[in-house]
Amino acid sequence: MQNSTPDFKWIITPHKQKDLSGSKAMFPVEVSRTARRFHRQIPGYQMSPLASLPNLAAMFNVGGIWVKDEASRLELNSFKVLGGSFALYRFIQNRLGISDEKMNYNYLISKEVKEQLGEITFASATDGNHGRGIAWAAQKLGHPCVIYVHSETSKRRIDAIRGYGAVVKVIEGNYDDAVRQIVVDAAKYGWEIISDTSWEGYTQVPTWIMQGYSTMMAEIQEQFSAQGIARPTHVFVQAGVGALAASVIGYYHSLCGENAPKCIVVEPEDAACLYESAKTEHKDIVQVDGDLDTIMAGLACGSPSELAWNILKETVDAFVSVPDYTAAKGMRVYATPLKGDPFIISGESGAVTLGALLSILKSNGAEELRDFLKIDENSQVLLINTEGNTDPALFRQIIWEGSNPVPKEYWYDEDKR
């Protein structure tokens, strides 16, 4: 059921009965326990906040708006380190044949393990945050790291990756071109690819990365429980290749079954590969070509992860495609909260779900989507701020200079709500 307003598009994907087999197989409760047990051993680990925006929720007649704020995750300002570090944990565990009971962080970074493994170079392609996470984890383990980025990646993001000792190579083209090139070069030089996207014959590492993200979900459920909330009623999650979205949505469908929250995936309009895939009759994977030009660097992906798509096509309730100014608005709302709500530092990829939520709640022409989602005074809406200020120059352009403004015809008018 495809539709649009003048400033965003959506597809409602009703399921007669959701196929939960993929979610339950990939995200059993034991996996999140293992991932969280590992992450807790990393020096500097602490649970990231689950912030409440009660006054913003009241303004839009919503029961609660909750933001899992990954801007404070370790020293990397992004959730990505959870997936990358857990994938390297599983990789080394698998290579050495060591059980979970015997594995721990100190042993993982020990000289003994490095001698057993020999010289390994870890490699990946990235839009920024994933590459930083892999470089950080490889540095902790004492192994070389090579990261490929596409030609539109900002110097700030490249320097941040190099800051953790990685060799960074800029590839002409977009993110998908960088992925294709690292596959070729890794085979040539004997590197081990740690990628969050999957392709034919390459699924194990992306599975580990997605399972690593489940630490965040286990934290969220613990934090909701402390508030007397069993689970959110709605989850908005941003998507690039779909790994995070599949992790969040797969986790909730594994945990809650048919009682899972309504799940909405949000993408930039110029890199909406999941939205385009959902449009097809049989939900076939669609690749979006072109330069994928969007301020949401972490979401500028043209090819869905097949592994992630197999979960998302069976569980997502709506796919939403939005322009860049939606993300910029989300950043500004987080940065200038209503009195009494917390101040949240969010990058463009982190803030797009807030912008999308507010657009859905107020836009003329979105009545069909609002009626389907049924977001009201009893709803508890979960958003994930996936990154903090990871590109300071762009952050200032949006917050200070007002770049990517919302067109005046879409301004929120309190007198007309």
Burial of 283 (0-12, 13-18, 19+ CB in 10 A): middle
Determine whether domain 89-201 maps to CATH 3.40.190.10. Answer: no
Residue type, 406: V
**Residues lower than pLDDT 50 in the chain:** none
Residues in the chain: 417
The pLDDT score that the predictor gives to residue 271 is: 97
**φ, ψ for residue 170, nearest 5 deg:** -90, 125
Burial of 126 (0-12, 13-18, 19+ CB in 10 A): buried
Q: Is the separation of the CB atoms in 368 and 410 below 8 Å?
A: no
Say how far apart CA 270 and CA 288 lie, in whole Å: 8
The pLDDT score that the predictor gives to residue 100 is: 86
The CATH 3.40.50.1100 portion of the chain extends over: 2-79+213-416, 89-201
Residue type, 303: S
The pLDDT score that the predictor gives to residue 415 is: 60
The pLDDT score that the predictor gives to residue 413 is: 73
The pLDDT score that the predictor gives to residue 78 is: 94
Q: Is the separation of the CB atoms in 265 and 312 below 8 Å?
A: yes
Q: What is the pTM of this model?
A: 0.95
Active site residues: 80, 127
DSSP category for residue 359: H
Residue 351's alpha-carbon distances to 61, 156, 393, in angstroms, are 20, 19, 16
Question: Which residues, 6 or more positions from 233, have their beta carbon under 8 angstroms from its beta carbon?
Answer: 63, 261, 262, 375, 378, 379, 380, 381
Say how far apart CA 261 and CA 317 lie, in whole Å: 9
The pLDDT score that the predictor gives to residue 250 is: 98
CA 230 to chain centre: 23
Burial of 142 (0-12, 13-18, 19+ CB in 10 A): middle
Bridge pairing between strands 234-238 and 2-5: unpaired
- Second-level CATH architecture of 2-79+213-416: 3-Layer(aba) Sandwich (3.40)
